[in-house]
Structure 1
Amino acid sequence: MSLINTQIKPFNATAYVDGKFIDVSDESLKGKWAVLMFYPADFTFVCPTELEDLADKQPEFAALGVNVYGVSTDTHFAHKAWHDTSDAIKKVNYPLIGDPTGKLSRNFEVMIEEEGLALRGTFVINPEGQIKIMEVHDNGIGRDASELLRKVKAAKYVAEHPGEVCPAKWTEGAATLTPSLDLVGKI
């Protein structure tokens, strides 16, 4: 069964952001769009490139009213230590959630049990707490924050314009489609 359109499960966690530790829960995510980007571990190789790329785009997500969170099975203390020692992670200005018990990773079905690490999973959650986009793939493949931003814009557009859908490669301002009997076989 897919997690798409399901309600996120309850969780409580601690995150590191802006030099402090903060509490984050399923309730914290509600009321705004949110992105949860799971990654395997701090102090690794592909992960800092992804988190830095997301940090570079974070102002654009914020302008859309989207909160961004990084999540790994490391502790919030490890996140702080990584932030203090890595030039790439020093750029991260969104919360890095610690998930040392793996509960959050299991809730989103990205936990690799035999390794105690999360897969690279990206989830876009609407203000009502429903998962609208999910992408999970092998840990050797890095993600692109620009493509994620495009997908978030499409998800928001569809939510704000019932009855319309965004075709492949849709970008903000481009034409959408209104599914109807008249379109069948004409695309």
Structure 2
Amino acid sequence: MASVNSTVQAFTAAAFHKGQFVTVTEENLKGQWSIVFFYPADFTFVCPTELGDLADHYAEFQKMGVEVYSVSTDTHFTHKAWHDSSDTIGKIEYPMIGDPTGTVTNNFGVMREGQGLADRATFVIDPQGVIQAVEITAEGIGRDASELMRKVKAAQYVAAHPGEVCPAKWKEGEATLAPSLDLIGKI
């Protein structure tokens, strides 16, 4: 599996984005913060609730300089059909990557063995294309876009403030820590 501090591997994939079919590569993930949000399949149950939650938070992610990419092993054609037929999916404005060959899913190491489906996995990637956070949940456990946003804000803060770290439950504007000998045993 792709791990924290590893660089995103090369890929080329077709995506459905704002009524168009577009090409997305690993280069699109560089130069800005990115979220790559894998889910098992279109026209399912937990997946649309997660993708809809991301859509509801998309404008705020954009204000933070973050692009969101959802990925499943469905085709970009299937993404368009789902977008056109579901009110929840119809509000999505971020690129929906189709990965029927499994290249992207396998590059990130989240292909379910023998099933041809992606795990429910999230990757936060910095502007250099380096993975800063990874989350994988079991099939029935949906993710929360507001918690993902908190993690992205923490990653952005740490990247912009070398020598500082964000403690548990950190929220933007709250105190951070500066690891040092003086802190050992005092937290």
Same fold (TM over 0.5): yes
**CA shift at 1:168, angstroms?**
0.3
Partner of 1:101: 101
Shift of 1:114: 1.0
Residue 177 of structure 2 corresponds to 177
Q: TM-score when scaled to structure 1?
A: 0.98
The residue type equivalent to 2:76 in the other structure is H
**Aligned counterpart, 1:89:** 89
Number of corresponding residues = 187
Q: TM-score, normalised by structure 2?
A: 0.98
**Identity within the alignment, %:** 64
1:1-187, aligned counterparts within 5 Å?
3-187=3-187
5+ residue gaps, structure 2: none
Structure 1: which amino acid aligns with 2:175? A
Runs (5+) with no aligned partner, structure 1? none
**Offset, 1:2:** 6.2
The Cα of 1:113 is off from its aligned counterpart by 2.4
- Displacement over 4 Å in runs of 4+: none
The one-letter amino acid paired with 1:140 is G
| 1: CA distance, partners of 2:176 / 2:38 | 30
Q: CA RMSD in A?
A: 0.9
Instruction: Give the secondary-structure state (helix, strand or coil) at the position aligned to 1:80.
Output: helix
Q: Deviations over 1:34-61 (max 9, x none)?
A: 0000000000000000000000000110
Confirm or deny: 8 A CA contact 2:2 2:108 kept in the other structure: no
State the distance in 2 between where 1:13 and 1:155 align. 27
Q: CA deviation at 1:143?
A: 0.3
For residues 81-124 of structure 1, the C-alpha deviation after alignment (integer angstroms, 9 at most, x for no partner) is: 00000110001110000000111111111100211000000000
| CA–CA distance in structure 2, aligned partners of residues 78 and 2 of structure 1 | 26
Contact 2:2 2:107 in 1 (8 A): no
Alpha-carbon distance in 2 for matches of 1:53, 1:12: 26
